[in-house]
Every structure is written in structure tokens, then in C-alpha cells.
Structure 1
Amino acid sequence: LLRSGIVCLPGSSDRLGRALLRVTTSGSAWGAAWCSATELARLILYLCSLPRREAKDSGLTVVVDARKQPPAPVLFSALCSVQSISPGCIHTVLLLAEKELVPHRERLPGVQVETLASLKALGRYVDSSQLTQELDGAFPYCHDEWVQFFQKLHPFTASLRQASELLQSCIHELRSTDTLAGTQDVATCIGRHQELMRRVLSDPQLVRVQREAGAVLARLRRE
């Protein structure tokens, strides 16, 4: 589903600074069995989690390019699920389509939905410099290259997340130590702390992150 390119996060933003999520309604992927509302919602939620916090907090703007084909019902089902799971995740949906091709405008609770008949109308919301070539814009974006970069980045961020969870768990365990009552308690506490330290220092995931993180980051920056 990610490879299909029917939903992507180019890295651009609208005139109010909200990150743009682009959806293309044409393409064979929409008819595939694996393109379900559940899987589509999972992908959208993941892409919505990628922008910086300040961009996520204001909600994303979804540009739906439906000039060639009306949106599949599964799209709005997925968007409803996304909004239910993460309210405010999506702020606006800009539906680019001929009005006769969209007989009725779908309603999404808590989301502003605008139907736009032309790219000129879309320009009121998004500058052409922030639109990709498919929308006659100048923003550079290649989905295949993005997917290749993602395949390198995702395992690295997953490793960082697991290492962070381990460290947070150990910190929580250290903070939950009961009030010491005597020498025996002190000895027990020291032993417990030493065991936690050994667990952290010997954790394969954390060791790998410590060993490889610098080189991985340097390579990702170059790319």
C-alpha cells in the first residue's frame, strides 16, 4: 500500500503551514483486496505521525486529487477511522474534482471538507511551490525515492524506539524503589540497580544503536 503511492507525504505545506498529505484516487491499487479501510487508515495514521510536533499539533491538510476518478468509498471510511482514533489529526480535506463527478460531499466529523473545481481554486489554500508535479506544482518529490529512504529509516527509528522504551522502563523501576529502612535494604537496592545497569548495557538492541547510530545518521543525512 505504501509503495502504490496513492497516499503520500511529500514534505510540503499549505498556506497556513500545515503539512500536506496527498491522495490520488486514480490507480489500480484502489481495487486491490489489500487496500481496505483498515490498512488505509493505518497508513494515513503513520504518515500523519511523521511531521514535526508543531506541524502535527495543528492537524494535516489532505489534498485529494479526484480529477480523473471519484474517490473510492474506502477512502472516506479510512479518514473517518483516522479522525476517530486520533481526533484533530486531520484538519482539512481539499477535494479537487469536478462537482458533477462528486454528487454529494462526504462529511467527516471535525474536519473541514472543501470541494475545489480547479487547480486555481486549490491555489487559494496551497501555493504552487508546495504542490508536486502531478498537481502542476514545483515541489520536488519522487515517491520511489521516498520509499527507498523509508526502508532505511524505519528499522533505525524502530531500534531507537525500542531502546528508548527499555531505558524508560529501567528509569521507572529505579524511581519506584521503596523507601529504605535499613542496611539490608540498601544492599538490596544496590544489587537491584547493578542488575538493571547490566541489563541495559548488555541489551542487544541498545548495543547495536550505540555502535551503529552515528554511521546510520551520517548516511541518512547524505541521502
Structure 2
Amino acid sequence: GSSDRLGRALLQVTTSGSAWGAAWCSAGELARLILYLCSLPRRGAKDSGLTVVVDARKQLPAPALFCALRSAQSTSPGCIHTVLLLAEKELAAHRERLPGVQVETLGSLRALGRFVDSSQLPPELEGSFPYCHGEWVQFFQVSVSTQRAPTSPPCCWPRSCQVSPQVRPVPHLPPQDVAACIQRHQALMGRVLSDPQLLQLQREG
């Protein structure tokens, strides 16, 4: 997945969409999903906590989101380092407190750029990070099936740099489609691993 300017793993949450009103979309289920996503980064990145970008430009965050963030942080202290709330500045006076988490309210994508380079953001945030959720889900399922690891998240498959509470059924793929999916994923990872910021971080240790 992508990362912020300090190398922390990045998680994007979009607050618009009818899925937020779904019966399963409770604070408890969201907290379980967030904790699952926190377990995915490599150990070094995991220890530094996630940076969560909340895109609330079209709709204010549902109360369940902040409850879930508080619950996840309480269950696993330090799993979330920063929340970047992309919304109107007026929201700053009404945002909920998240103990132990740095919360920044950002009024524009330009302000977001102080924390996250555009190369690490998806097109929805006017970035160039190459990401296809459907292909990632397919590759992840193939990997899990190959390793026979029961790592299914509580309510939906995660998005590496973007999370939206939706249940997405994924059909069984024939072998040739699996091979093509793996090739596309390898090409995608090649582009990610050749990112200048990542190479600089590797050189700096």
C-alpha cells in the first residue's frame, strides 16, 4: 500500500455512500476491520501506526467511524498515529476527540499534500497511486488460498490504501485469469517499489 511523508502506512476512508447505513456497519464491526488492516503492514511500519485519511468532503463522518477509531486505539494502543480529516474547516469545532491520536482537519487537497505526497494518493484524491481494488482482492484471495491461511477480515475485504464499508462478492477465477491477475499485480508492485520516496527511505535505512 501507500504511505505518508514519514513512511507510515496509509489508510483512506470515504464517508460518502449508502453502505454507512447498512445493518452490519456498526462501530464494533468497523473497529474489527480497522484492527485487521492495522495488522497488514510490515513490522516496522506496523509499529509506527497508521495514518488514516478520512475523506469527508461530500458527507460528514458517521458517528460509528470515530467510535470505531477510539475502540481500535484502545484495544491496540498506537495502532493509529494520525487522522487526517479532509473536510470543511467548520468541522474542526465539531470533530470528536480521539485520545492518543493526532487529528488534523484539512480544508483542501493542497493541505493534505503537506502530509501525503500525491504519488501516494489514489485518483479520487487527485493522486497517481496505481490501485485497483478488484484486482487487489482477487490477488489477496489467491494468496490466502495458496497459503491456506484463514485471514479473512470480519465483514469485507480490505482496501490497501482505501477503505469503504462495502461487501464485494468476488467470483471464482479460472487459472488463466489468476495468472493474468498475478502478472498485473506484479507490474503494479514494481511501480510502487520504484517510487522515488520509497527508494530514498530504503537508502536512509
Question: Normalising to structure 1: TM-score of the pair?
Answer: 0.66
Instruction: Tell me the equivalent position of 1:53.
Output: 43
Instruction: Tell me the equivalent position of 1:178.
Output: none
Q: 1:160 to 1:29 in 2, by over 3 A?
A: closer
Q: CA deviation at 1:28?
A: 0.7
In 1, Cα distance between equivalents of 2:3 and 2:26: 27
In 2, Cα distance between equivalents of 1:41 and 1:160: 19
Please identify, of 108-117 and 94-103, the stretch whose mean Cα deviation from structure 2 is larger. 94-103
Question: Normalising to structure 2: TM-score of the pair?
Answer: 0.71
Q: Which of residues 130, 133, 136 is equivalent to 2:123? A: 133
Higher relative contact order (CA 8 A, sep 6+): 2
Q: CA deviation at 1:101?
A: 4.5
Deviations 1:21-55 (A, max 9, x none): 00000011100011111111111111111111110
In 1, Cα distance between equivalents of 2:41 and 2:139: 15
Structure 1 residue 75 corresponds to structure 2 residue 65 = yes
Instruction: Tell me the equivalent position of 2:87.
Output: 97
Percentage identity across paired residues of the two chains? 78
Aligned length: 157
In 2, Cα distance between equivalents of 1:126 and 1:110: 21
Provide structure 2 residue ranges, at least 5 long, that are not aligned to the other structure: 152-177, 186-205
In 1, Cα distance between equivalents of 2:65 and 2:93: 16
Q: CA deviation at 1:155?
A: 3.8
In 2, Cα distance between equivalents of 1:62 and 1:156: 30
Residue identity in the other structure for 2:56: A
Provide structure 1 residue ranges, at least 5 long, that are not aligned to the other structure: 1-10, 162-217
Q: 1:160 to 1:69 in 2, by over 3 A?
A: closer
CA RMSD of aligned residues (A): 2.0
Matched-pair contact (CA < 8 Å) for 1:91–1:112? yes
| Higher CA-based Rg | 1
